[in-house]
Structure 1
Amino acid sequence: MSIPTADSAAGQAIKAVDRAHVFHSWSAQALIDPLAVAGAEGSYFWDYDGNRYLDFSSQLVNTNIGHQHPKVVAAIQEQAAKLCTVAPGFAVESRSEAARLIAERTPGDLDKIFFTNGGAEANENAIRLARLHTGRQKIMSTYRSYHGATANAIALTGDPRRWPNDTGVSGVVHFWGPYTYRSNFHAENDAQECERALEHLEQVIAFEGPGTIAAIILETVVGTAGVLIPPPGYLAGVREICDKYGIVFILDEVMAGFGRAGEWFAVDHWDVTPDLLTFAKGVNSGYVPLGGVAISAEIAARFDERPYPGGLTYSGHPLACASAVATINAMADEGIVEHARHIGETVLGPGLRELAERHPSIGEVRGLGVFWALDLVKNRETREPLVPYNAAGAANAPMAELAAACKQRGLWPFINMNRFHAVPPCTVSEEEAKAGLAVLDEALSLADAHTV
């Protein structure tokens, strides 16, 4: 891998124009200092000063196939030369083939694919489908969740990004999902957590009125809110509850899908089939914006003679779908899903647990595939988080110090609240994963300094 010669002046010029004209998401505009990125390849990206970063964030946990995969780049170029764009109402090869490849990998009879531009729109359309299918309005989602930033998707979201956008009249009901380490149900183990979380869910349904609830939406593995792995039996239990009350079961696989959890879809670990499954990110590693909803035969049949009242100008965009076809084929041909599982089982999982033995700031290690989190604490006995919930400014200093230490050592981290997420590309090599863990080992000494 060759990094272009440093050109600091070019980087400064790009940043100056950015600061003058780009309005950044989730940011106080005057308080940010975006890094000017010059290029990327595989598990790395670099800036204009010649600094190279091992991408342990996969950007926004989406470059599953790594940066600049040559087969995907070539597919985009080939499609651009052939047909750049066409309206959704036409049948085109790249869209048809992308849908076929996705349907081959979804569980059960989720064989119809509605394409969107990303994950938030996928969730928007999933809840629209559920409401139209059931004739009901309420949607249930967990507090520890993120489902996107569009109107309904942000209402579904449980984390604090919802608060400034919440109207209080969205038709969304939040409940507590399972999280054994910080149990809301005073559970002592996964079995108790599963049983009590399901009891809680069914009680909320009873008090809300089962006949008013259109859908329950869950991230199969909760992503940004903590890489929370559902305890054995939980997803099957939710499936049973949904069947009991005629509720549509939606699984959000936007972050967990396409190899991230060591399977094509995370739900494959638990052999459960939802009614709707949403995806984005890893379907083409974000090379061109793309998301979608995989729809069960029963729900799809609702619209055989009845028009579906929704659509997008760029639904199934040819360039995006061509990149998805190339991504899925490359993942299959190169064993990338199996490689992600192997890295999790032999490098990341054991390596992170070894770090936990040496660093008192690590309260819990959890994950699978290339989808891991360290739950950082002030005190292992009390499990008090290293920083308060939704901390900002000085209160968040310990996590800010950890992030800065990683970046100074050439590791780009994904940090949220009191957690460090280890989420490199599915293509990360053993050597690269171990190098990332070595940097993290050094940086965690700063977190340890805040423990008591």
Structure 2
Amino acid sequence: MTTNHSVSLADRSTVFHSWSAQGALAPLAIAGGLGTTVWDFEGTEYLDFSSQLVNVNIGHQHPTVIAAIQEQAALLTTVAPAHANETRAKAAQLILDRAPAGFEKVFFTNGGADANENAIRMARLVTGRDKVISHYRSYHGNTGAAIVATGDWRRMPNEYSRGHVHAFGPYLYRSDFWATTPEEESERALRHLERVIQSEGADTVAAILLETIPGTAGILVPPPGYLAGVRSLADRHGILLILDEVMAGFGRTGEWFALDAFDVVPDLITFAKGVNSGYVPVGGVLIPSAIAHHFDERVFPGGLTYSGHPLAAASIVGTLTAMAEEGVVENARSIGADVIGPALRRLADSHEVVGEVRGTGVFWAIELVADRDTRAPLDAAAMGGLKGELLGRGLLPFIAETRLHVVPPAVISAEEATRGLAIIDEALATL
């Protein structure tokens, strides 16, 4: 008989896990899932408030996506990227239909990391420059350039790629600029970024790479004017702006692309995760006409064996079709505005341990503190205890450092969201 213990033991015996010291791992065994719920091999159910890695936007086992993959598998399971493929072309068109005007082509990758990798490659080739500026509070993936573009601790053991520079982005709750208002934070963060560009030599900078809304770093919704200001700085200095929509895109923020809420159009857009809810590994780069045609006569020196894999493309077609037909993006927007946002603000009022709540759509963070006045972060032991309380009450959380991220699938109902938030309320009371 299959049990949680037997599966966990087999996994730990044979699988080398990401971002982990291997010896003390105790992975949760997941047997199945449907919609917003997953369960283990002994029948214990969990409301998935993590969307796994903030990617299962359309929920688990959506029948339209499953059927699209099955239909493609029966027709053609794989094809070399050099060949034309009908499903790949349809997936690209559906993505472009949701993009800002002027985007013409899609370069498909295996995930978000190599999407950012190839966007950086394009920017360097088009501009003839080398440096890439990104934020310290960021995550862009775990391949050569993407991990060095990342700002958090995961960069430090992996700094093998050249030409990367970091700057502090806006984060009013823990401002690096002594700001007291969103407007001050925006203005001062932009001035800081401009000084970094000037100090590095503007004519050496190929790209500014930013998550539209930094995700793993804390769901840091940019203050008014910040992204537009970055766009202006990039234009002034001939720098390409790359917006990383890997986590924030395709419904997560209550928009098709998070950038839609900020009236800014970048030079390149990277995506993955929500484009097919992670059912098959896939990502990509959205490319505007000018950059696409730069390579009409010049060879683009990049490619992957599985670029535009038919099963991945079919999962994109199924996902984007279902999301449009079922109003999934609109649901995420209304759940965020009407249910999650108000409930989290009530939690902030009733629990001293909550320092700040912030977010949009189904993309929120609760920042937890040991002291509201000093904003000293909660310690690791308390965060571990909180995780245990949430799991014990049937909620699967996403915890990053001293934050609890509220990131359920975009298909979540008001009733399910309310139930999950009540569990969080109960668990916070134990702190």
Q: Report the TM-score range of the alignment, normalised by the length of the smaller protein.
A: over 0.9
Where do residues 368-407 of structure 1 align in structure 2 (5 Å cutoff)?
368-387=360-379, 396-407=380-391
Partner-residue secondary structure (3-state), 1:37: coil
Percent same amino acid among aligned pairs?
62
Structure 1 residue 229, shift from structure 2 partner: 0.2
Letter in 2 for 1:91: A
Match of 1:296 among 288, 295, 313: 288
Structure 1 residue 381, shift from structure 2 partner: 1.6
Structure 1 residue 271, shift from structure 2 partner: 1.3
Deviation string, structure 1 residues 388-426 (Cα, Å, up to 9, x no partner): xxxxxxxx1010001110000000000011101000000
Tell me the distance in 2 between the aligned counterparts of 1:163 and 1:74. Answer: 42
Asked if 1:443 is matched to 2:427, the reply is: yes
Asked if 1:423 is matched to 2:407, the reply is: yes
> Equivalent residue for 1:237?
229
Match of 1:93 among 86, 98, 111: 86
Q: Is the 8 A contact 2:130 2:163 kept in 1?
A: yes
Q: Is the 8 A contact 1:374 1:420 kept in 2?
A: yes
Where do residues 174-323 of structure 1 align in structure 2 (5 Å cutoff)?
174-323=166-315
Partner-residue secondary structure (3-state), 1:295: strand
Tell me the distance in 2 between the aligned counterparts of 1:305 and 1:350. Answer: 54
Structure 1 residue 152, shift from structure 2 partner: 0.7
Q: Is the 8 A contact 1:104 1:111 kept in 2?
A: no
Deviation string, structure 1 residues 77-99 (Cα, Å, up to 9, x no partner): 00000010000011111100000
Partner-residue secondary structure (3-state), 2:103: coil
Match of 2:120 among 114, 127, 132: 127
Structure 1 residue 235, shift from structure 2 partner: 0.5
Structure 1 residue 166, shift from structure 2 partner: 2.0
Asked if 1:350 is matched to 2:342, the reply is: yes
Q: Is the 8 A contact 1:256 1:265 kept in 2?
A: yes
Q: Is the 8 A contact 1:398 1:446 kept in 2?
A: no
Letter in 1 for 2:219: V
Match of 1:103 among 91, 96, 107: 96
> Equivalent residue for 1:78?
71
Tell me the distance in 2 between the aligned counterparts of 1:307 and 1:57. Answer: 41
Structure 1 residue 297, shift from structure 2 partner: 1.3
Aligned residues: 431
Tell me the distance in 1 between the aligned counterparts of 2:370 and 2:276. Answer: 39
Deviation string, structure 1 residues 20-40 (Cα, Å, up to 9, x no partner): 211111111111011121100
Match of 1:367 among 359, 364, 388: 359
Tell me the distance in 2 between the aligned counterparts of 1:251 and 1:244. Answer: 18
Tell me the distance in 2 between the aligned counterparts of 1:87 and 1:10. Answer: 40
Letter in 1 for 2:210: L
Deviation string, structure 1 residues 345-366 (Cα, Å, up to 9, x no partner): 0000001111111100111110
Tell me the distance in 1 between the aligned counterparts of 2:430 and 2:242. Answer: 40
Structure 1 residue 446, shift from structure 2 partner: 3.0
Partner-residue secondary structure (3-state), 1:299: helix
Task: Identify unmatched segments of 5+ residues in structure 1.
Answer: 1-6, 388-395, 448-452
Tell me the distance in 1 between the aligned counterparts of 2:117 and 2:430. Answer: 41
Match of 2:58 among 65, 85, 109: 65
Task: Identify unmatched segments of 5+ residues in structure 2.
Answer: none
Deviation string, structure 1 residues 281-334 (Cα, Å, up to 9, x no partner): 000000000100001111111101111100000000000000000100100000
Structure 1 residue 12, shift from structure 2 partner: 3.0
Tell me the distance in 2 between the aligned counterparts of 1:159 and 1:403. Answer: 22
Deviation string, structure 1 residues 178-216 (Cα, Å, up to 9, x no partner): 011111000010000010010000001001000100000
Q: Is the 8 A contact 1:215 1:247 kept in 2?
A: yes
Structure 1 residue 380, shift from structure 2 partner: 1.3
Structure 1 residue 379, shift from structure 2 partner: 1.4
Letter in 2 for 1:25: S
Partner-residue secondary structure (3-state), 1:261: coil
Tell me the distance in 2 between the aligned counterparts of 1:359 and 1:379. Answer: 11
Tell me the TM-score normalized by structure 1: 0.94
Tell me the distance in 2 between the aligned counterparts of 1:341 and 1:196. Answer: 30
